[in-house]
Amino acid sequence: MKIESDVPIPPRGAQVGGRKPRYPFHEMAVGESILIKDKSTTVNRLSTRLNQILKATGKRFTQRSGPDGIRVWRIE
């Protein structure tokens, strides 16, 4: 293991590593929405993720369950 200096810390919410985010929340503009049809995603799990994004970036979202899935809107 090598000790290094002058390596900048990435900003909060930045993608680290090669893993692609499951949902494009960071790319959404205010007023845009996405429909999540994934049965494994629950409202509680989604709420937790959206709160993490709020704390890291200040972006606010709201969500509503419907017959087709869960729709998420960016509101701020």
* Beta strand residue intervals within 1-76, DSSP E: 33-36, 61-66, 69-74
Exposed e or buried b per residue across 22-42, where buried means at least 16 C-beta atoms within 10 angstroms of its C-beta: ebebeebeeeeebebeeeeee
Helix, coil or strand: residue 49: helix
Which residue in 18, 28, 66 sits closest to 50, CA to CA? 28
Inform me whether the pLDDT recorded for 12 exceeds 90. Answer: no
Q: In what order do the strands lie in the sheet with 61-66?
A: 33-36, 69-74, 61-66
pLDDT of residue 1: 86
Inform me whether the pLDDT recorded for 15 exceeds 70. Answer: no
pTM of the predicted model, to two decimals?
A: 0.73
Instruction: Tell me the pLDDT tens digit for each residue of 36-72.
Output: 998 888 889 999 999 999 998 999 999 999 898 999 9
